[in-house]
Amino acid sequence: MQFEFNEQQKMIQKMVREFAEKEIAPGVMEREDKEEFSRALLDKAGELGLTGICFPESYGGSDGDYISYIIANEEIARVDDGVQTGYAASVSLCAMPIYNYGTEEQKQKFLVPLAEGSKLGAFGLTEPNAGTDAAAQQTVAVLNGDHYVLNGSKIFITNGGAAEIYLVFAMTDKAKGVKGITAFILEKGMPGFTFGKKEHKMGIRSSQTQELIFQDVKVPVENRLGQESAGFKIAMTTLDGGRIGVAAQALGIAQAALEHAIKYSQERVQFGKPIASNQAIAFLLADMATQLDAARLLTYRAAYLKQKGQPFAKEAAMAKMYASDAAMKITTDAVQIFGGYGFSREYPVERLMRNAKITQIYEGTNQVQRMVIAGAILR
Task: Point out the residues that are catalytic.
Answer: 363
Long-range contacts, stretch 139-145, CB < 8 angstroms, 24+ apart: 139/168, 139/169, 139/170, 139/171, 139/214, 140/170, 140/171, 140/172, 140/174, 141/170, 141/171, 141/172, 141/182, 141/184, 141/219, 142/172, 143/172, 143/221
DSSP-derived 3-state class of residue 63: coil
> Quick one: CA torsion of 350, 367, 166, 88, rounded to 10 degrees?
50
C-alpha pair distances (Å), 221 with each of 28, 155, 166, 228: 42, 24, 15, 10
What is the rounded distance in angstroms from the CA atom of residue 341 to the CA atom of residue 350?
9
What single letter denotes the amino acid at residue 220? P
Helix (H) or strand (E) holding 174: none
